[in-house]
Amino acid sequence: MAGITYVMTHPGFRSIKVGYARADGSRIDQLVRRGWQPYRSLIVQSPQMARRIEQATLFDLRYRIYVPVHLTRAHMGRAGGWTETVSAELISPSEVWYLLCEQAGMEQLSPVVKPVWQPRGPLRGHRRQRGDTPRFVRAARIEAARTARAAQVGAPNQTKPKAKQTAAKKDTQ
């Protein structure tokens, strides 16, 4: 069974979507009914390969080029897929297609070149956090954890203002 990796655009949202589907599935038709326009698609050997190509492309977009998620769950509705969107104002569909083709080439054409990341299942107890980390990309989870730790270290300590308030109360009494 073949798989499809695709790039779609939505002129109303000014957004680009990267996704994958089974060749016999109705995913692309479902998105077309919601206003998405197919830009280009690539037929690959299996849906699993299409997913690996999609996840590698999303990893490049999020953690190498630093393009954030563009739409929210409310925009996409029941169709889902909001985590695979990027703003058309930050990157063009042709650039996204180039990244997708680069990842597809590494995945299926060269027996020597291996991708930097290794697709694995989620760690036991790991939960995906609001779509900001591609699901099976270990390097993305590590980078997200480092970013979260750096944000926590830079956060101000909340216990100091309470101590100041206590000292101020003692001075007034």
Judge whether 162 lies within some domain. no
pLDDT at 132: 47
Judge whether 70 lies within some domain. yes
Residue environment code for 39-53, b if the CB has 16+ CB neighbours within 10 A, otherwise e: bebbebeebebbbbb
Judge whether 124 lies within some domain. no
Global confidence as pTM: 0.63
Q: Per residue in 87-105, pLDDT tens?
A: 999 999 999 999 999 999 8
Judge whether 63 lies within some domain. yes
Judge whether 74 lies within some domain. yes
pLDDT at 159: 45
Judge whether 56 lies within some domain. yes
Q: Per residue in 118-163, pLDDT tens?
A: 555 555 555 555 554 555 556 666 777 777 777 777 655 444 445 5
Judge whether 164 lies within some domain. no
3-state class (DSSP) for residue 140: helix
**Range of the structural domain that residue 90 is part of:** 3-113
Length of the chain: 173
Judge whether 103 lies within some domain. yes
Q: 3-state DSSP: the chain helix, strand, coil percent, rounded to 5?
A: 50, 15, 35
pLDDT at 107: 84
How many domains in the chain?
Answer: 1
